[in-house]
């Protein structure tokens, strides 16, 4: 049993690293996603086309590959040796930019699902463009995007395990190492349980958030 405790303690250490990736990614990618929604929806074609391309690139290639590029890219492209201190920033940048691309598409479809009549009513009442967005469109968009954003967040929990490709000791990597060293599969079960509980909490919280918007239809 002491053995199991030991395993759990080590995995909790790895879980901390996973949580760092998770929260950093959320805090950066949600606003970043909103930020790139605007040029993505720009009426200036070259600008929107550029962002369409960037977003398709980010969504169309494996996150694992993108993490490798962010981590080793500076060395291969510019000859910079950033060392291990670059590992956490590379992971957070890679995750945040990748998830921002997904969130941007979710936000875009959310914004486009708002009836044109809302814009027309706002225009006739004299609201300017930023008032219309901030007061009328954005709040309604948030309500509409909660379900797809929840799906992405749940995927993110599981995706944190991808950080292993650049040998970052998040939870899954730790579990795998112990499993290999001690020739037992228990650590992997424990890690799986952690992911499950984590996502259970995410689903619970997002359900509360969704319900908090139920005061209107």
Partner 1 sequence: MSVFEIKNCKKSFNDIKVLDDISFKVDEGEVVSIIGSSGSGKTTLLRICTFLEFMDDGTLTYLDDSIVKSIDGKASYIGQKDLSLDALNKNKDLTRIKGYFGLVFQNFNLFPHWTVLKNVTDAPIYVQKRDKNEVIEKAFIYLKKMGLESKAYCYPCELSGGQQQRVAIARALCLEPKIIYFDEPTSALDPELTSEILKVIKELASEKRTMVIVTHEMSFARDVADRVIFMDNGVIVEEGNAYDLITNPKKDRTKKFLMKYDG
When asked if residue 44 is in the footprint of partner 1 (CB under 8 A), the reply is: no
Residue 150 φ then ψ, to 5°: -60, -45
Q: Quote the least distance from Cβ 127 to partner 1, whole Å.
A: 6
Q: Determine which residue in the list 1, 5, 9, 43 makes contact with partner 1, applying CB under 8 A.
A: 43
DSSP assigned state of 136: I
Q: Is 49 in the site for partner 1 (CB under 8 A)?
A: no
Contacts of 43 (CB under 8 A, 6+ apart): none
Which residues 6+ apart lie within 8 Å of 33 measured at CB?
A: 99, 100, 101, 102, 103, 104, 106, 107
Listed residue (138, 112, 126) closest to 40, CA to CA: 112
> Which contiguous run of DSSP H or E holds residue 22?
helix 2-40
Question: Is the Cβ of residue 118 or residue 151 nearer to partner 1 in the bound state?
Answer: 118
Binding span for partner 1 by CB under 8 A among 67-75, 93-101, 130-138, 183-191:
130-138
Positions 85 through 114 that interact with partner 1 (CB under 8 A): none
CA atoms within 13 A on the CB side of 201: 7
Q: Which of 47, 54, 127, 169 binds partner 1 (CB under 8 A)?
A: 127
Residue located via tokens 């950080």: 163
- Is residue 211 a contact residue for partner 1 (CB under 8 A)? no
124, 181, 183, 208: which one contacts partner 1 (CB under 8 A)? Answer: 124
Is residue 125 involved in binding partner 1 (CB under 8 A)?
Answer: yes
Residue 83 in the binding site for partner 1 (CB under 8 A): no
Measure the CA–CA gap between 63 and 162, rounded to whole angstroms. 8
129 near partner 1 (CB under 8 A): yes
123 binds partner 1 (CB under 8 A): yes
Q: Which stretch binds partner 1 (CB under 8 A): 18-26, 98-106, 118-126, 152-160?
A: 118-126
133 to 172, contacts with partner 1 by CB under 8 A? 135-136, 139-140, 143
Using CA atoms, how far residue 183 sits from 7, 34, 144, 187, 194, in Å, is: 13, 46, 47, 10, 20
Cβ distance 33 to 148 under 8 Å?
no
Report in angstroms how near the CB of residue 215 gets to partner 1 at its nearest: 6
Interacting residues toward partner 1 by CB under 8 A: 43, 115, 117-118, 120-121, 123-129, 131-132, 135-136, 139-140, 143, 215-217
């Amino acid at each position: 049993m002491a053995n199991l405790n030991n395993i759990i303690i080590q995995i909790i250490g790895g879980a901390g690293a996973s949580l760092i990736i998770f929260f950093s990614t959320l805090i950066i990618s949600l606003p970043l996603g909103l930020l790139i929604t605007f040029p993505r929806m720009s009426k200036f074609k070259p600008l929107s086309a550029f962002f369409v391309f960037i977003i398709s690139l980010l969504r169309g290639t494996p996150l694992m590959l993108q993490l490798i590029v962010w981590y080793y890219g500076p060395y291969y492209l510019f000859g910079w040796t950033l060392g291990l201190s670059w590992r956490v920033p590379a992971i957070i940048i890679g995750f945040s930019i990748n998830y921002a691309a997904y969130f941007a598409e979710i936000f875009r479809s959310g914004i486009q699902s708002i009836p044109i009549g809302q814009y027309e009513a706002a225009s006739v009442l004299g609201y300017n463009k930023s008032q219309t967005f901030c007061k009328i469109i954005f709040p309604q968009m948030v309500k509409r995007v909660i379900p797809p954003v929840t799906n992405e967040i749940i995927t993110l929990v599981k995706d944190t395990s991808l950080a292993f490709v650049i040998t970052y000791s998040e939870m899954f990597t730790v579990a795998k190492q112990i499993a290999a060293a001690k020739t037992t599969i228990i650590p992997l079960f424990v890690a799986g349980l952690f992911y499950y509980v984590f996502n259970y909490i995410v689903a619970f919280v997002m359900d509360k958030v969704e319900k908090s918007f139920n005061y209107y239809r």
